[in-house]
Structure 1
Amino acid sequence: MSLKFGAFMAPFHSLTEDPTTALWRHLELIEWLDTLGIEEAWLGEHHSGGFSPVASPELLLAAAAERTRRIKLGTGVVSLPYHHPYTVAGRLVQLDHQSRGRIMMGVGAGVSPADAYMLGIEAADQRRRMAESLDVVVQLLNSTEPVTVKTDWFELREARLQLRPYTEQGFDIAVAGAGSERGMRLAARHGLGSLTFAGRPGMRDLPLAPLWRAAEDEAAKCGTTVDRSKWRVAVCLHIADTREEALNQVRPGMTHWFKECVRDTFGAPATLPVGREVDAAVEAGTVIVGSVDDAIESIERMLQESGGFGTLLVNTHDWATREQVKHSFELLARYVAPHFNGSLAGIRASQRWVAANRDRFALEGGAAAKAAATTGA
């Protein structure tokens, strides 16, 4: 199975940066990823906390679709409990048409308790609401039959979408999960893809292999199928020309992000030794920071331990400068991705063939030159 690569843009930014500029920088980065041939870019939805000021990923993705040619664009994620499922499905289908079939739909329960609180949603209801909404969204996208359903928080009466998805097979839908079986099982219940957040600095996530076994178990119970090629795994990754350069580039930014965002703002139960945050996270394998060879080795280990997945997504943070982030993605596209997607096989085989036969070719070429000189032809 060939491994694809993409970017997962939560997105996180320093509270010292102008938010308007940050929004435009998202679009510039997606353009660069498209130029490099990176397959996917995902943008998240958040409403509080300051570090992630994108309230509507669909708006940015619509702008990105106008600026790019081939990269697929995903909501990473739409928080289903915050929206009526009919409008969620309708917006994504419209965006699917605007992008001529390049849209992906990532869904989740909503990661921020503060967002749910402001919307009057009890934290205990978020996952139930997500499951109820996803049931309806899948029906609306996959069937032309009218949908009538009533819950304690939304109602549909003979509802159907005016527009169908742009392509006959529809667009990819991925259910997000942060290191637990819950999201994997919900995705498997509908035969959908999964988006797993792995390798979060200072966090203890379940190993990937048991997560996939949970998906297979749920699919067997529900009579659906799951496909590893539709499993996306998001990790923190930064590459530079050398390991030391990579570590030096991200140390100040990751330390600031961990303290100000993870610990002091959201109060996540994450621990890293003060002053050694980056080095400890690298040693623990929860982030990938290093050279091209380091990245290849770490990704190979992830694939082996998990049994394989379809796409590796790079969590983008403002840990390094903009140019360093762009260079990291360039190294990923030029040297890491080819190691996993098979694009080097043909040129390497050709080189080996020419090298193995060079004496024969030289002899034949020399004989032809001699004959031409003798005959004057």
Structure 2
Amino acid sequence: MRFGNFMAPFHPTGQNPTLAIERDLDLIVAMDRLGFHEAWIGEHHSAGFEIIASPEVMIGVAAERTKHIKLGTGVSSLPYHHPLMLADRMVLLDHLTRGRVMLGCGPGQLTSDAHMLGIPADEQRPRMEQCLEAIMRLLRGETVTMHTDGFTLQDARLQLAPYSDPCFDVAVAASFSPTGPRGAGKHGIGMLSIAATARQGMDLLAQHWKTWEEVALEHGHVADRSKWRLVGPMHLAETREQAERDVAYGIAEFSRYFSHILPAGPVQGDTVSQIVANNRESGFAVIGTPDDAVAKIEELIEASDGGFGAFLLFDHDWAPPAAKLRSYELFAQYVIPHFTGHLTPPRASQEWVTASGREFVDRAAHAIGKAIEDHAAEQQAKHSPAAP
């Protein structure tokens, strides 16, 4: 299993936005150092919380500061872009990053963004599907002519093939509607389950997989669990009590913001104590310890009815910056190796040695004693008078 984050990002208003964006870049650098596999960066244009307008620009900067981590658009709002321009930019980034780029696709979360562009909310998903079809055809090297309400393509083709062979990872966002799994199945791409830990989202995981499989089969593709990424929020500390104290910093502002974004916000309540209590009941977010995080991911594996390829931390500013970084460190130190299998060999080796009782200790003591005796004998021989 791979691990990463899904960074909208969520920065409360009233703070320096330049510094907030810089902290996002610092976090990606830290994730690269800590061994995370992926970071997905969002696109939004209104409401003041999710302040990155161009994930491609952020990817370009982050790629220069990192060595290993893959960087994706999380997600590009397809109805807001001309498919040729977006595909062209992503191919360029694929070359610039030597294959570390990923394209995440969605209809656009904020209807206020669509409003400013004159796009009816109920047209966002159909336009996304049209744009995704055009992008995938372009990435396959086809010459595309399409005329839609959102864009026109006339004999369009890419002048560069992707650096990645045959193409970089492409994934479509999914929450509660069937749009995501249908798009993943139709085009043979991956899926980003954004609301995986919400009760309704978790209940839909197996259904989304079934839809993905069925539509993929209809279009000659095979649904691939390794390309399925589940997203969920976590804040970890050494104890649950400490974690709950940490999120008092910003979880209430996050809740107020989401009450104006979605019909039913993911964390609900008027006060921190109400939000934390409601979250304990709903189980939407892990606010606790690394053991709690392991348990939630194992629950998701079971709910998915067969597993998935990656778990992404839904990034947020619920805790102060230092506590937030510590949460990522705890996740990397204890949660990631639990699922990658890297804890097993060291533990097995330790158990082998400790199960020996005093055998290896006695061998070491004997070897030390023998070295002392050998040295003494050598010295004695050196200073003894020669035999006549």
1:116 and 2:114 equivalent?
yes
Aligned runs of 1:1-377 on 2, under 5 Å?
3-143=1-141, 145-198=142-195, 204-205=200-201, 207=203, 208-259=205-256, 261-263=257-259, 265-266=260-261, 268-270=263-265, 272-275=268-271, 276-307=274-305, 308-375=307-374, 376=377
Q: Is the 8 A contact 1:180 1:205 kept in 2?
A: no
Deviations 1:110-156 (A, max 9, x none): 1111111111112222111111111111111122x322222233222
- Structure 1 residue 206: deviation in Å? 5.2
Count how many residue pairs are aligned between Structure 1 and Structure 2: 371
TM-score by length of 2: 0.90
Secondary structure at the aligned position of 2:216 is classed as helix
Supply the distance in 2 between the matched residues of 1:282 and 1:191 (Cα, whole angstroms).
Answer: 37
Q: Is the 8 A contact 1:15 1:50 kept in 2?
A: yes
Secondary structure at the aligned position of 1:66 is classed as helix
Report the AA paired with residue 309 of structure 2. G
Deviations 1:72-124 (A, max 9, x none): 10100111111110001000111111111110100001111111111111222
Deviations 1:5-39 (A, max 9, x none): 11111111111112122111111111111111111
Report the AA paired with residue 36 of structure 1. L
Secondary structure at the aligned position of 1:75 is classed as strand
Secondary structure at the aligned position of 2:98 is classed as coil
Distance change >3 Å, CA 351–CA 168, structure 1 → 2: same
TM-score by length of 1: 0.93
Supply the distance in 1 between the matched residues of 2:284 and 2:196 (Cα, whole angstroms).
Answer: 4
Distance change >3 Å, CA 365–CA 53, structure 1 → 2: closer
Structure 1 range deviating more: 328-337 or 159-168 = 159-168
Distance change >3 Å, CA 54–CA 357, structure 1 → 2: same
- Structure 1 residue 223: deviation in Å? 2.2
Secondary structure at the aligned position of 1:205 is classed as helix
Q: Is the 8 A contact 1:232 1:311 kept in 2?
A: yes
- Structure 1 residue 225: deviation in Å? 0.7
Distance change >3 Å, CA 83–CA 356, structure 1 → 2: same
Report the AA paired with residue 355 of structure 1. T
Q: Is the 8 A contact 2:192 2:229 kept in 1?
A: yes
Deviations 1:332-364 (A, max 9, x none): 000111111111122112112222335443444
Distance change >3 Å, CA 374–CA 209, structure 1 → 2: same
Q: Is the 8 A contact 2:190 2:224 kept in 1?
A: yes
Report the AA paired with residue 332 of structure 1. F
Q: Is the 8 A contact 1:176 1:194 kept in 2?
A: yes
**Aligned-pair Cα RMSD in Å:** 1.9
- Structure 1 residue 162: deviation in Å? 1.4
- Structure 1 residue 212: deviation in Å? 1.3
Supply the distance in 1 between the matched residues of 2:348 and 2:126 (Cα, whole angstroms).
Answer: 53
Supply the distance in 1 between the matched residues of 2:370 and 2:250 (Cα, whole angstroms).
Answer: 68
- Structure 1 residue 305: deviation in Å? 1.8
> For structure 2, which runs of at least 5 residues remain unmatched after alignment?
379-388
Report the AA paired with residue 161 of structure 1. L
- Structure 1 residue 367: deviation in Å? 4.6
Supply the distance in 1 between the matched residues of 2:176 and 2:311 (Cα, whole angstroms).
Answer: 15
Supply the distance in 1 between the matched residues of 2:78 and 2:93 (Cα, whole angstroms).
Answer: 17
Report the AA paired with residue 349 of structure 2. S
Secondary structure at the aligned position of 2:10 is classed as coil
